[in-house]
Amino acid sequence: MPLIENGRLIEDRYVVPADEDALPDGVPLLIPAERFLKEAEALKGRQAPVAVLWPNNRRIEEIEPYLGQLSLIALQFPSFRDGRAYSQARLLRERLGWRGPLRATGNVLRDQFIFMLRAGFDQLDAAKEDDAAHFAEEVGSHSVFYQPTGDGRPSILRARLGRVAAHGTTN
């Protein structure tokens, strides 16, 4: 699948090993949550980046003790109707303080790109290469938002309140 980051197609440098395979040395790994949790202590000494593929039916708080050893977190969307990964993304960004790359993977649809960005995702596993052009178009189509979210941009209310505080007026 094409990988979009900041509106551009990028090469996915992470290798996803099969559950029974030995972990290759010297390459960035994207490891399923179950295996990561079993081997977390052994993975601390790796010289290459380690990322985790976290399912949306598992409590995101379980990952908190390991955030310092991760280079990327990928959250799964098994179905476009299943939005639990949005909640996980916001919890990671807003409550657990995750500042590293956050990838949306699985059933990632064009219509949901802007919502994924607003929830705090930086990377999207897209279905098609031309999704990158749509992504850039979608990102540029909105300049203000009503809802506060995990992407760090202030809502229109916060922006307005900041203007009032700075100038002492609403005009």
> What is d(CA 4, CA 24) in angstroms, rounded to the nearest whole number?
25
Q: If residue 165 lies in a helix (H) or strand (E), which one and from where to where?
A: helix 156-167
pLDDT of 147 reads 62
What are the pLDDT digits (tens) for 105-148? 998 877 788 888 888 898 988 877 777 777 767 666 666 655 65
pLDDT of 50 reads 96
> Which DSSP symbol is given to 24?
P
Q: What is the mean pLDDT of the chain?
A: 84
> What is d(CA 72, CA 51) in angstroms, rounded to the nearest whole number?
5
Torsion angle defined by CA atoms of residues 94, 95, 96 and 101, in that order, rounded to the nearest 10 degrees: -20
Q: Tell if the pTM clears 0.75, that is, is over it.
A: yes
Domains and CATH numbers, the chain: 3-142 (3.20.20.70)
Averaged over successive runs of 10 residues, the pLDDT of the chain (171 residues) comes to 80 89 90 94 91 96 95 93 92 94 89 83 82 69 60 66 61 51
